[in-house]
């Protein structure tokens, strides 16, 4: 039987002299899904002059671990390891936390998660929504809001916007539930060329499909969605892909560079062959991730 992510998780002494270690916790698929976040932190913290390493399901001792995926650590065995090793860590929280569960997950071990929050050196989130939960749980003194922002390495040579257009729209990410219903609705539009890049698609194929699409999509996951995923939007807009979004709530200003409306609006847009939307302004002139992280690191 293949090892689970839980079984693969280890706490190892560091052989490096790094100051910061970005520790992703979770499955290989989730590393791929969160790669834009992981590398955004890596490049931005490096640009601040820090020595930075990355690990997958490992904590390093002797350095400060910046944890992405702390919700995977609620198993009692992991908590015991952290207590014993006293590894220093902070939490970069990119999940929806309401004070009772993560991402509306049933049966979530909230008491263990609260212990993790209290054990952390500090908590950083790019979502204003999470701050109210930290307040309710008594850890607001540890929490800092840092807006997601631009970093130079967002622009990748693998996305060639001079390529021949083969798709009208591309969505990448988890295509399930209400999102899948929306994608099916778009696919039913006459002449619509829609491409979905999900966990069943090679991760690095995403750049090719974004090269050859007219537009990218940011689709609300459902009524429980409390904020906009900025990582998807920033990756596309930084590389010249205009984004159409139907996310109804955005307390963080992440929709500023998108064309935002309802799903009906988006369907009408693609049903009209004369519809156009072009990017205005530049992410590079706005919020930079390194500037947001600098007060913490």
Distance, in Å, from the CA atom of 217 to the CA atom of 241, rounded to the nearest integer, reads 10
Query: Over the stretch 9-26, which tens digit does the pLDDT of each residue have?
Result: 555 554 444 599 999 999
DSSP code at position 95: S
Half-sphere exposure of 85 (CA within 13 A, CB side): 22
Secondary-structure breakdown of the chain: helix, strand, coil percentages, each rounded to the nearest 5: 35, 20, 45
pLDDT of residue 86: 87
Asked whether residue 35 carries a pLDDT value surpassing 60, the answer given is: yes
pTM of the model: 0.90
Query: Over the stretch 219-255, which tens digit does the pLDDT of each residue have?
Result: 999 988 999 999 999 999 999 999 999 999 999 999 9
Give, in order, the Cα–Cα distances in Å from 188 to each of 107, 183, 192. Answer: 37, 9, 7
Locate 233 and state its tokens.
Answer: 């939007």
pLDDT of residue 11: 56
Show the DSSP H helices in the chain as ranges. 5-8, 28-33, 35-47, 76-85, 110-119, 129-136, 178-187, 206-211, 230-238, 263-271, 289-293
Distance, in Å, from the CA atom of 137 to the CA atom of 51, rounded to the nearest integer, reads 33
Locate 195 and state its tokens.
Answer: 């491409």
Query: Over the stretch 169-194, which tens digit does the pLDDT of each residue have?
Result: 999 998 988 999 999 999 999 999 99
User: What are the structural domains, with CATH classification, of the chain?
Assistant: 5-145 (3.40.50), 154-283 (3.40.50)
Nearest one of 235, 190, 191 to 211, comparing CA atoms: 235
Half-sphere exposure of 50 (CA within 13 A, CB side): 24
Half-sphere exposure of 49 (CA within 13 A, CB side): 3
Distance, in Å, from the CA atom of 223 to the CA atom of 67, rounded to the nearest integer, reads 28
Asked whether residue 91 carries a pLDDT value surpassing 50, the answer given is: yes
The least confident of 29-43, 168-182, 210-224, 279-293 is 279-293
Element (H, E) at 170: strand 167-172
């Amino acid at each position: 039987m293949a090892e689970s992510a839980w079984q693969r998780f280890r706490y190892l002494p560091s052989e490096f002299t790094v100051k910061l270690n970005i520790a992703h916790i979770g499955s290989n698929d989730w590393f791929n899904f969160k790669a834009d976040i992981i590398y955004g932190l890596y490049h931005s913290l490096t640009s601040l002059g820090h020595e930075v390493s990355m690990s997958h399901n490992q904590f390093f001792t002797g350095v400060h671990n910046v944890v992405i995926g702390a919700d995977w650590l609620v198993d009692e065995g992991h908590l015991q390891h952290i207590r014993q090793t006293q590894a220093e860590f902070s939490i970069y929280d990119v999940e929806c936390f309401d004070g009772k569960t993560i991402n509306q997950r049933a049966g979530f071990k909230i008491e263990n998660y609260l212990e993790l929050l209290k054990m952390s050196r500090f908590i950083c989130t790019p979502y204003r929504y999470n701050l109210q939960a930290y307040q309710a749980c008594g850890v607001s003194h540890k929490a800092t809001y840092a807006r997601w922002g631009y970093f130079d390495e967002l622009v990748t040579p693998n996305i060639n916007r001079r390529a021949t257009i083969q798709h009208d729209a591309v969505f990448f990410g988890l295509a399930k539930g209400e999102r899948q219903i929306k994608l099916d609705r778009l696919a039913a539009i006459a002449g619509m060329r829609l491409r979905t890049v999900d966990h069943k698609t090679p991760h690095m194929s995403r750049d090719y499909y974004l090269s050859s699409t007219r537009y990218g999509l940011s689709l609300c996951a459902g009524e429980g969605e409390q904020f906009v995923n900025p990582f998807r939007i920033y990756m596309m807009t930084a590389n010249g892909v205009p984004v159409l979004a139907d996310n109804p709530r955005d307390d963080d200003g992440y929709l500023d560079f998108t064309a935002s409306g309802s799903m009906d609006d988006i369907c009408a847009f693609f049903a009209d062959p004369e519809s156009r939307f072009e990017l205005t302004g530049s992410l590079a002139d706005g919020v930079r991730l390194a500037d947001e992280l600098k007060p913490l690191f």
